[in-house]
A = this chain, B = another copy of it.
Amino acid sequence: MEQTAEILRRLRAGEPVGIAEVARRARVSIATVSRVMNGVSRKASAETVERVLRAADELGYRPAHPGRALRTRQTRLIALLIPDLTNAFYAAIAKSIEASLAQQDYAMILCNTDEDPAAQDRYLAEMQAHRVRGIALLGAVATPGLALAMRRDTPVVFVNRKSPSGPGIFVGIDNYAAGQAVARHFLEQGYTECAAIHGPLWSTASRARFEGYRDALKAAGRKLKPCHTLEAALTMEDGLWAARRMLGCSPRPQAVFCGNDQIAYGVFRHCRELSLRVPDDIALFGFDDNPLNEWLAPWLSTIHVPSHDFGPAVLLAFKQLWEPQEGQPVRDILLDYSMMLRGSA
């Protein structure tokens, strides 16, 4: 049994088993093995199926993805580009997407861009080379590479932050409406000095949030004072920096809209430095709702974005792109946000 010896050698060496070995062991052609493994039924007798399956099982055979990919011109790979994995909100979205993909036997390649446009373009090109079946772009930045990628036939889904260039399917919340909701809440609470530390305006999401907030205030006859309006990166460090600039000016704001939770954490730190109580002395309002808030930031009201819902939605978006329905235009998927009010004892 020379072939058996070969199989044993490969198993011992830890080398993966190929379709040919399975075919030999089941005494059928490799074509039959392939058909059985792919469940192309009505094409093999029950007895053959059984023999093949047993042989595959005994050898621990699983079809090699690279071979399959080459032949079918399709991988089971999806890329997720993410600005910052250590932002727990982004991480929660990534987790949700990964879970949905794994369920459909897709593997997720994770690319951390650090909001760096050059890095985004490098990844975009590299993912094309990997022949991924789709790219989920969490926190897209306008770049030449992105424009190029949109021309290729690899589907791109914009997650949480809309396409900076206009066209492109989007999954996320209505940030403008959410921004308005924050303003209305402040008005209801009777705050007269409302401020904003918003995210970078080149980010479609940050811009929409801020504009919603500003417009709703204006609609109520309130205007944001210049010294009550600041732009910051979506980080704690920048939040702290902004707070140091803003909380010194008079009158001190009673309520601060923050572009995201991270910014709010930074502001909170300065409040601690000033011995200001949140929200009694000054109210903070964030965006996203980091899962840790419930435990570590019970003082932070925020717009809760349902991170768990992103996975199924992104999958749905890809499916729309993969199998376009006649007369069924591809549409954005809007998720519901909610107001998470905390600390108002």
Cα–Cα distance between A277 and B195 once the two chains are bound (Å): 32
Residues of A within 8 A of B (CB-CB), count: 59
Give chain B residues whose Cβ lies under 8 Å from the Cβ of A65: 66, 129-131
Asked if A125 CB lies within 8 Å of chain B CBs, one says: yes
Give chain B residues whose Cβ lies under 8 Å from the Cβ of A123: 102
Asked if A42 CB lies within 8 Å of chain B CBs, one says: no
Asked if A50 CB lies within 8 Å of chain B CBs, one says: no
Whether the pair A153, B297 counts as a contact (CB closer than 8 A) is: no
Whether the pair A109, B110 counts as a contact (CB closer than 8 A) is: yes
Instruction: Give A266's nearest chain B residue, CB to CB.
Output: B295
Cα–Cα distance between A296 and B278 once the two chains are bound (Å): 13
Cα–Cα distance between A107 and B130 once the two chains are bound (Å): 9
Cα–Cα distance between A309 and B98 once the two chains are bound (Å): 25
Give chain B residues whose Cβ lies under 8 Å from the Cβ of A70: 66-67, 70
Residues in chain A within 8 A of chain B (CB atoms): 13-16, 60, 62-67, 69-70, 75, 77, 80, 84-86, 88, 91-92, 94-95, 98-99, 102, 105, 107-112, 123, 125-131, 148, 151-154, 236, 265-266, 268-269, 272, 291-292, 295-298
Pairs across A and B, CB under 8 Å, 27 listed: A13-B153, A15-B152, A16-B128, A16-B131, A60-B148, A62-B128, A65-B66, A65-B131, A66-B75, A84-B95, A85-B85, A85-B91, A85-B95, A86-B92, A86-B95, A88-B88, A91-B91, A98-B112, A107-B109, A107-B127, A107-B130, A108-B109, A109-B109, A265-B296, A268-B296, A272-B298, A292-B296
